[in-house]
Amino acid sequence: MASHASMGVIEERTALAEHQAAQTFDSFYREAWLPVYRAVALGLGDFDLAAEAVDEAMTRCYERWTKVRSMANPRGWVFRVAMNWGRSRLRRRTWIGRDKVPDIPFHDPDIPDPQLVVAIHKLSHAHREVVVARYLLDMSEAEMAAAFGVPNGTVKSRLNRALKELKEAIE
């Protein structure tokens, strides 16, 4: 017989599954667009491109909604598709020597950890992506691995390296 604790987990997962099954694309879109857009904007460093990328990813999400909504983390899937799409656009810009990846404009002079913020900006795309997915979208390593199509070990290694870089930057 399942313990109370595991029953709780089962109930929680059942509730989550029911919520996901019942959730319409419209409500998912309304809830997810802005947080995913902000995550992609951070990941790509280009706001206009991020908006375009999320629109594209949401379109693909709608096409496959039956499949995507049953995923553990549909937001993660949209994030990854948008990042991939946006990064390909950035590569095209680089190809013609016109890559312009702007810094995030900071409006707030009281940023608590400026060195850390600069270090986050300096992370490679792959490392920044896992940091944003982990800390902004609250994705677990397993969810990131599933969404990014890479082994768990790769996600873990990227996250560890990214955190190591960030730690070194603020020490």
3 residue type, one letter: S
- 73 vs 147 by CB, closer to other proteins: 147
Which region, judged by CB under 8 A, interacts with other proteins, from 1-9, 10-18, 53-61?
53-61
Q: Report, in Å, the least distance between residue 140 CB and other proteins.
A: 14
> Cα(57)–Cα(63) distance, rounded to whole angstroms?
10
Near other proteins by CB under 8 A: residue from 44, 49, 58, 139? 58
Provide the token pair at 109: 């002079």
- 13 vs 67 by CB, closer to other proteins: 67
Residues 36 and 78: beta-carbon distance below 8 Å = yes
Q: Is 79 in the site for other proteins (CB under 8 A)?
A: no
Span 86-105, contacts to other proteins by CB under 8 A: 87-88, 90-105
Q: Is 85 in the site for other proteins (CB under 8 A)?
A: yes
Which region, judged by CB under 8 A, interacts with other proteins, from 3-11, 15-23, 82-90?
82-90
Span 128-157, contacts to other proteins by CB under 8 A: 131-132, 135-136, 147-151, 153-154, 157
Provide the token pair at 41: 């904007």
Task: Convert 114-144 into a string of H (helix), E (strand) and C (coil).
Answer: HHHHHHHHHCCHHHHHHHHHHHCCCCCHHHH
Q: Let me know the angle formed at the C-alpha of 57 by 55 and 62, rounded to the nearest 5 degrees.
A: 95
Near other proteins by CB under 8 A: residue from 38, 71, 72, 140? 38
Residues 158 and 126: beta-carbon distance below 8 Å = yes
